[in-house]
């Protein structure tokens, strides 16, 4: 591991009265920017009770923010896809004398549509200290130091050459924010796609052999209680047979020892098509004010095994109502036993096959248990 130094205003040469706006400051050269200021606090301004602490309050225009006071990590806050702006409010430990307030603001993408894009802003807008004996102190215009990017980015510690420019120490088992981690791994055997499962981490970026794999943010859950992405594809073209360099920049704290390197199963393939399944956008035409397809709405389900393998087992066929998704299909309220036999006759032993979407062919003869329901054909097969 290699931990980024938490800068103070004395380390940052770009000085402004207030923190700079994040978009125009970083100019897409980095997702990160440091902001730091210093304030002297009299001992009489600190709370008299030891169980009462002052608070750091930041109004941020987005997207996310980490706070440090005197080099100590205070916390992390972020906005959402709907509301980018957010409030950072955390208790802090202040000391009599000089106190260094340091923020790391970050973007999570850029605006790409809508009006007044030049008026979209991000980063800290107002910074105050609350709960002092003298009241709330506004330090927004206290003079700030600013810096684009973190030092590890600048020296490219995610490359073999850059990794030699810093002093790495063994991971102590205690996750910490703004920390780089590196290790080496051998390429998994076979030709199946390789992925990193990052569920033990929180938020950051990852590189393999100097190639960016992208951002991860597995600590931010969807309404279903899971992150939108858990595994991150590593193209085999990036890999060597042995000693592949894996470097992770963790922003808020995660355990790199539990990152999994795995291969993706491509031997289970599926096709799902509905009765009103639309054709490709290339198959439509416009006549006057009418847009209409040139082909029938329902065609056929298509399955194709990778690497010249053949279909050795039909694991699921549903025709009617189908629940679940590929790998976890379940029959719905109405079903057809005839459809399974039809798919087996068309697909078993073949590298690829097509199953026509024809009700009279797939439905049980004279036994359509849900005639008024729009039909779905779902097929899952195993290749070998």
Q: Parallel, antiparallel, or unpaired for β 352-356 and 300-304?
A: antiparallel
pLDDT value at position 156? 98
Interatomic CA distance for residues 275 and 297, integer angstroms = 8
DSSP code, position 117: G
pLDDT value at position 215? 95
Q: Residue 44, Cβ neighbours under 10 Å: how many?
A: 10
**Predicted confidence (pLDDT) per residue in 80-93, tens digit:** 988 999 999 999 99
Q: Based on the number of CB atoms within 10 Å of its own CB, is 227 exposed (0-12), middle (13-18) or buried (19 or more)?
A: middle
Interatomic CA distance for residues 96 and 205, integer angstroms = 37
Q: How far is CA 342 from CA 133, 229, 355, 359, in A?
A: 80, 36, 8, 12
pLDDT bracket for residue 58 (50, 70, 90): very high
**Predicted confidence (pLDDT) per residue in 326-364, tens digit:** 989 988 878 788 899 999 999 999 999 999 988 888 888
pLDDT bracket for residue 67 (50, 70, 90): very high
pLDDT bracket for residue 285 (50, 70, 90): confident
Interatomic CA distance for residues 307 and 325, integer angstroms = 24
CA angle 126, 129, 131 (to 5 degrees): 140
Interatomic CA distance for residues 315 and 344, integer angstroms = 10
Half-sphere exposure of 380 (CA within 13 A, CB side): 15
Q: What's the average model confidence in pLDDT over 17-27?
A: 96
* Those residues with Cβ within 8 angstroms of residue 26's Cβ, 6 or more apart along the chain or in another chain: 32, 33, 107, 148, 149
Token duo for residue 238: 């990036």
3-state secondary structure of 185: strand
Q: What's the average model confidence in pLDDT over 107-133?
A: 92
The secondary element (H helix, E strand) that includes residue 319 is: strand 311-320
Residue with tokens 């539990």: 258
């Amino acid at each position: 591991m290699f931990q980024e130094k938490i800068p103070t205003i004395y380390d940052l040469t770009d000085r402004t009265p207030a923190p700079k706006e994040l978009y125009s400051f970083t100019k897409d050269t980095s997702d990160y920017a440091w902001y730091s200021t210093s304030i002297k606090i009299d001992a009489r301004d600190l709370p008299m009770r030891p169980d009462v602490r002052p608070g750091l309050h930041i109004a941020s225009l987005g997207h996310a923010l980490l706070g440090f006071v005197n080099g100590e990590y205070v916390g992390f806050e972020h906005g959402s896809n709907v509301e980018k702006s957010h409030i950072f409010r955390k208790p802090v430990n202040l000391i009599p004398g000089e106190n260094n307030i340091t923020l790391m603001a970050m973007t999570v993408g850029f605006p790409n549509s809508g009006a007044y894009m030049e008026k979209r802003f991000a980063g800290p807008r107002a910074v105050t200290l609350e709960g002092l004996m003298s009241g709330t102190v506004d330090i927004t215009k206290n003079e700030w130091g600013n810096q684009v990017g973190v030092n590890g980015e600048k020296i490219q510690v995610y490359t073999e050459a850059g990794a030699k420019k810093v002093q790495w120490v063994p991971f102590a088992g205690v996750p910490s924010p703004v920390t780089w981690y590196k290790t080496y791994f051998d390429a998994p055997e076979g030709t199946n796609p390789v992925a990193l499962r990052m569920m033990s981490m929180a938020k950051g970026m990852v590189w393999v052999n100097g190639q960016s794999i992208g951002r991860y943010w597995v600590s931010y859950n969807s309404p279903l209680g899971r992150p939108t992405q858990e595994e991150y594809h590593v193209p085999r073209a990036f890999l060597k047979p042995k000693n592949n360099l894996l470097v992770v920049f963790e922003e808020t704290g995660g355990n790199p020892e539990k990152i999994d390197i795995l291969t993706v199963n491509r031997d289970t393939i599926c096709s799902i098509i509905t009765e009103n399944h639309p054709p490709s956008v290339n198959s439509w035409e416009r006549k006057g004010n009418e847009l209409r397809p040139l082909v029938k709405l329902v065609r056929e389900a298509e399955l194709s095994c990778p690497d010249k393998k053949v279909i050795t087992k039909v694991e699921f066929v549903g025709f009617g109502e189908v629940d679940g998704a590929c790998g976890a299909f379940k029959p719905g309220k109405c079903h057809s036993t005839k459809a399974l036999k039809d798919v087996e006759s068309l697909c078993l032993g073949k590298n690829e096959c097509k199953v026509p979407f024809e009700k009279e062919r797939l439905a049980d003869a004279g036994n359509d248990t849900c005639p008024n329901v729009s039909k779905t054909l779902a097929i899952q097969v195993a290749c070998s």
